[in-house]
Amino acid sequence: MATVSDTYLENRWRVQPNHANNYETVHGGNVMKWMDELGAMSAMRAAGEPCVTASIDEMNFHRPVPVGDTVSIESFAYETGGTSVRVQLRAAREDPHSGDQEVTTESRFVFVAIDESGSPIPVPALTVEDDRCRELRERALEWERDEA
């Protein structure tokens, strides 16, 4: 059984001109794609099985990320259901020189575990074994309550 901490992942993408919109900032579709890819990896760590995106909760883009800056995304699973895994995602604009970050968007994705034929299959419960697990899970649940 995976812990919440086991599912924690972080990745970075340098914003290139081919990632940009007409305003020379990252296209929102690229950020959503990167969040989806990283979120699926967190979900697969939780489920121990391949996972596909079932839904995306509200996603607001608060700040642009210009070409040349970095998009840093963190992801972790915080809750499981019968066949589903809820994943919290946060994207930030990161200065590649200083490492300073500003959160640009947060969202929750729901993934479903599938078998070889694409049918949903059960997922194990996540465990919360230490302070780090509790902190991550509470952060996700608090954001969920604030958005409700």
DSSP 8-state assignment for residue 126:
P
Q: Tell me: the pLDDT tens digits for 29-85? A: 999 999 999 999 999 999 999 999 999 988 989 999 999 999 999 999 999 999 999
In the chain, domain spans? 5-147
**Res. 109 pLDDT band, cuts 50 70 90:** very high
Q: What is the pLDDT of residue 148?
A: 64
Angle at 88 between CA 118 and CA 110, to 5 degrees: 25
User: For residue 54, which of 65, 46, 43 has the smallest C-alpha distance?
Assistant: 43
The CATH number corresponding to 5-147 among 3.10.129.10, 3.40.50.150, 3.50.50.60, 3.30.1360.120 equals 3.10.129.10
Q: What's the pTM? A: 0.93
Is the per-residue pLDDT at 144 higher than 90?
A: no
